[in-house]
Amino acid sequence: MLLQAISAVADCTVSKEFRLKHAQVLAGSLQDPMGTALPGIGLELISGSKVIRNLRTNSEGAYDFGEVPSGRYRLRIHYGDDTFCAPRVRCEKSGCGFDPRVRLNPKNSITVY
């Protein structure tokens, strides 16, 4: 007999908070775990509880928030039934950026015993 269990996993559609120390352009492209471009992905740049900028990736998975002022932000990803996790944020001395490859959202996984 097989039993299905849906694991209670935290939602990963919102990134961890990151800090821009100076104004910078936030642009790039998104890919699925296999490296295929992700067109039509909704992205929201959030400061506190307010959505600052909202956009969708183009046909090649590219996005461009333009120049973003210094401050604290999070990134939310929207696609279908929350299929993907928000991209990981990487901040260095020169600024912050997002990893192009996104992970599958574990909240949608089913474990079969």
Q: What is the pTM of this model?
A: 0.84
- What percent of the chain stands above pLDDT 70? 86
Beta carbons within 10 angstroms of residue 60's beta carbon: 10
What confidence tens digit (pLDDT) does each residue in 1-54 have?
Answer: 444 444 455 779 999 999 999 999 999 999 999 999 999 999 999 999 999 999
| The predicted structure's pLDDT at residue 41 | 97
- Mean residue pLDDT of the chain comes to 89
- What are the residue boundaries of the structural domains of the chain, listed by start? 12-112
Q: What does the pLDDT look like over 22-32, one tens digit per residue?
A: 999 999 999 99
Q: Give me the architecture of the 12-112 domain, per CATH.
A: Sandwich (2.60)
Q: Give the pLDDT score at 2.
A: 46
DSSP string, 26-49: EEEE-B-TTS-B-TT-EEEEEETT
Q: What is the pLDDT of residue 89?
A: 96
